[in-house]
Amino acid sequence: MCATCGCGGATLATDHSQEGHAHGAQAAYRHHDHPHDHDHVHDHDHAHGEADRDAHLAHVHAPHLNQERILRIERDILSKNDAYARANRARLAQKGVFALNFVSSPGSGKTSLLARAIADLKDRHAIAVIEGDQQTSLDAERIRAAGARALQINTGKGCHLDAHMVGHAIDELALEENSLLFIENVGNLVCPAAFDLGEAHKVVVLSVTEGDDKPMKYPDMFAAADLMLINKVDLLPHVDFRVEACTAAAFSANPHLQALSLSALTGEGMFAFYAWIEARAALAAAESRR
Amino acid sequence: MHELSLMESLIELAEAEARAHHAERIRIVRVEVGALALIDSEALRFCFDAVAEETLARGAQFEIVETEAAGWCGRCGAETPMTTRFEPCRRCGGAPLTPTRGDALRLLELEIE
């Protein structure tokens, strides 16, 4: 557990240590960057009237003992995550960093897709990657081999990245101005939908080997994303996957979703994806200057 | 799937509030689960006892108030009840609806003593 903020489980592995834990002295001094919720709770604890209080006294009960009270709280459980996400978003905007949060089930080809994108884009953009997995630094190593800086977060039992872990990772990475940040979430088509990390957009990756009914079965992830990438289209002749049925289902969960088909293996369709990234990054930069 | 980690956040929040009000124990924890909250109420209930052990909420009653979700229909402009993301507008049959409420997991209140 992190001694400074009490965060559990997740560990960060940096470029220098594969299984290291960044919650040491290095991370400690940054504790004051953390957003804190300033929601005040108002106590409406007058469930028992004067009569009750008198009765307690009459029965020689110590005052305030056995006194039932009701606290109205009305706080969203994700409000803490959302506060961290807002802080991350502000820090990224300040540096002009364009961040994408890649979500999918395990095995959709997220890491291969990122490795290919890094190899193709690294001469034009500084790129850093935050890799989320329950265990191992295998993905971060693949990303480094492709030519980008990478930091691995191991969530342990956790099924998703949260904004607090990503905030620590942003501290560690010391991002360059006007760079790209790719966040590869834990492979899971359910939970990461609910957690804002401070990214500009969620990008959902779906491979043709998974079946075209995934948007029907897991609509929340497709509703949370702004772009859907249908990956491994080089395998389309060999699988029963209808691209139109898949996109129709995804659009019915989210009419604002955009969709691209590509193959990280052959490179087919990758340039349309790069054009999307650069257009969206330019738009985000223009908006933040306004 | 992440009910356990949400329950840990929930109990942490409940315990902090209870301590701030000098409670000796929490008797009832009441939460709201929206129909579109990505939360399974039964899984949440299952996690409660495990997480509450060794906290002020040990042995407390855990009450779930399930709330209906509503969405805005882009075709007729109505706000209409919805229970799933794919449900069409109950007024005009238009789809999809844009959810306007019912996607939260919220700690509503605590009964403490």
How many domains does chain B divide into? 1
A69, A77, A193: residue with CB nearest B10: A77
**Average pLDDT over every residue of A86-111:** 97
- Quick: pLDDT tens for A159-217: 899 999 999 999 999 999 999 999 999 999 998 999 999 999 999 999 999 999 999 99
How many domains does chain A divide into? 1
Q: Which ipTM was obtained for this model?
A: 0.81
**Average pLDDT over every residue of A143-159:** 92
Residues 32-51 on B with a CB inside 8 Å of A are 36, 38
Report pTM.
0.79
The reply to whether A251 falls in a domain is: yes
- Quick: pLDDT tens for A30-80: 334 444 444 444 444 444 444 444 444 444 444 445 578 999 999 888 888
The reply to whether A262 falls in a domain is: yes
- Quick: pLDDT tens for B41-94: 888 998 998 899 999 999 999 999 999 999 999 899 999 999 888 888 999 998
The reply to whether B15 falls in a domain is: yes
The reply to whether B29 falls in a domain is: yes
Contact between B109 and A252 using a beta-carbon 8 Å cutoff: no
Range of the domain at B18: 3-68+101-112
Q: Which of A10-14, A147-151, B6-10 has the lowest mean pLDDT?
A: A10-14
CA distance B34 to A74: 13
Contact between B2 and A159 using a beta-carbon 8 Å cutoff: yes
The reply to whether A182 falls in a domain is: yes
Range of the domain at A236: 80-289
Contact between A191 and B96 using a beta-carbon 8 Å cutoff: no
The reply to whether A45 falls in a domain is: no
The reply to whether B16 falls in a domain is: yes
Per CB-CB distance under 8 Å, the chain B contacts of A64 are 22
The reply to whether A25 falls in a domain is: no
CB atoms within 10 A of CB B10: 25
The reply to whether A123 falls in a domain is: yes
- Quick: pLDDT tens for A249-267: 999 889 899 999 999 999 9
The reply to whether A4 falls in a domain is: no
Tokens in use for B85?
A: 């993301």
Contact between A68 and B13 using a beta-carbon 8 Å cutoff: no
Going from the C-alpha of A242 to that of each of A210, A239, A247, B87, B113, the distances in angstroms are 11, 9, 9, 23, 59
Contact between B107 and A75 using a beta-carbon 8 Å cutoff: yes
The reply to whether A48 falls in a domain is: no
The reply to whether B53 falls in a domain is: yes
Residue B89 sits at the chain A interface (C-beta within 8 Å): no
Q: Can you give the CATH number for the domain in which B21 is found?
A: 3.30.2320.50
Contact between A254 and B27 using a beta-carbon 8 Å cutoff: no
- Quick: pLDDT tens for A116-139: 999 999 999 999 999 999 999 999
CB pairs < 8 Å spanning A and B = 93
The reply to whether B73 falls in a domain is: no
Optimal mutation site among A64, A74, A77, A213, interface B, most CBs of chain B within 10 A: A77
Residue A68 sits at the chain B interface (C-beta within 8 Å): yes
The reply to whether B30 falls in a domain is: yes
Q: What is the mean pLDDT of chain B?
A: 91
Q: Can you give the CATH number for the domain in which A237 is found?
A: 3.40.50.300
The reply to whether B88 falls in a domain is: no
User: Considering chain A, what percentage of its residues have pLDDT values greater than 90?
Assistant: 69
